[in-house]
Amino acid sequence: MGECAMRLSIEHKLDEATIAAFYPLYVAAFDPIRTRAAARHLFSAEEFEAEMVDERIDKYVLWDANDEAFALTTVARDLAALPWISPEYFATRYPDEVARGAVFYLGYTLVDPERAEQGAFQLMSNEVERQCAEARGLLAFDVCAYNDERSVGRRLRRLGETGWSLHAVDVQTYYAATFDTATFDTATFDTATFDTATFDTATFDTATFDTATFDAASPAGGAG
């Protein structure tokens, strides 16, 4: 870290200037995901700012020699800060870690592309893992399939090599059904053969259905 004059700090809130500097990096990183993942990943500027000032989310920030921020990793220590996460799910499966406030939920990492070769990603990852290990905590994160098959895979392999026991705990699958009109045979349902005379409203005697004798406790259809 000394050779590149980098400084790492853990912030609870970022100032407006730093937020404004990071948002373009955030958009550049997540914009391609909009057409590759079914779930929305890209925050609006207002949503991003709200997260940057949310004290329940730690911000691991790298600063250069000019004290300008150029890399960021977000880690939620309170699962309630993440609207897409169910705190109860983790509390049921990891009660000790949740009770001790020892859950480290990784959000995302941003690095200025011009400084990507300075080891910023590795440095922040090491610090997050160190903090979590010292707390005897739970390190958790989620990824879309596109990222899971790409760069995130390297992080997964690295965790396995450094003593972490990694498990997939849940999966959400998005389905889409299309209707192929070419294979739909309209002859199977011919409206011309449907004889409305088979149910003649004129012959339906409402007196044959006496509501007074209808016992709701014993429907003809049963419980199903």
Residue of 133, 139, 142 whose CA lies nearest to 170? 142
pLDDT of residue 186: 61
- Please write the tens of the pLDDT for every residue from 43-87: 899 999 999 999 999 999 999 999 999 999 999 999 999 999 999
The pair of structure tokens assigned to 164 is 């972490």
45 and 133 in a common domain: yes
The pair of structure tokens assigned to 34 is 């909009």
- Please write the tens of the pLDDT for every residue from 126-141: 999 999 999 999 999 8
29 Cβ contact partners less than 8 Å away, ≥ 6 residues apart = 108, 110
146 and 203 in a common domain: no
126 and 35 in a common domain: yes
Reduced to 3 DSSP states, what percent helix, strand and coil does the chain have, rounded to the nearest 5? 45, 15, 40
Which pLDDT band, with edges at 50, 70 and 90, does 121 fall under?
Answer: confident
pLDDT of residue 221: 44
125 and 200 in a common domain: no
- Please write the tens of the pLDDT for every residue from 144-154: 776 666 666 56
Tell me the longest C-alpha to C-alpha distance in the chain.
Answer: 95
CATH number of the domain that 155 lies in? Answer: 3.40.630.30
State percent of the chain over pLDDT 90. 47
Residue 82 included in any domain: yes
193 and 126 in a common domain: no
Q: What is the mean pLDDT of the chain?
A: 80
pLDDT of 34 above 80 = no
188 and 116 in a common domain: no
pTM of the model: 0.74
119 and 16 in a common domain: yes
Q: What total number of domains does the chain contain?
A: 2
Residue 71 included in any domain: yes
Residue 223 included in any domain: no
pLDDT of residue 122: 87
Per the structure, the complete domain to which residue 198 belongs is given by 181-212
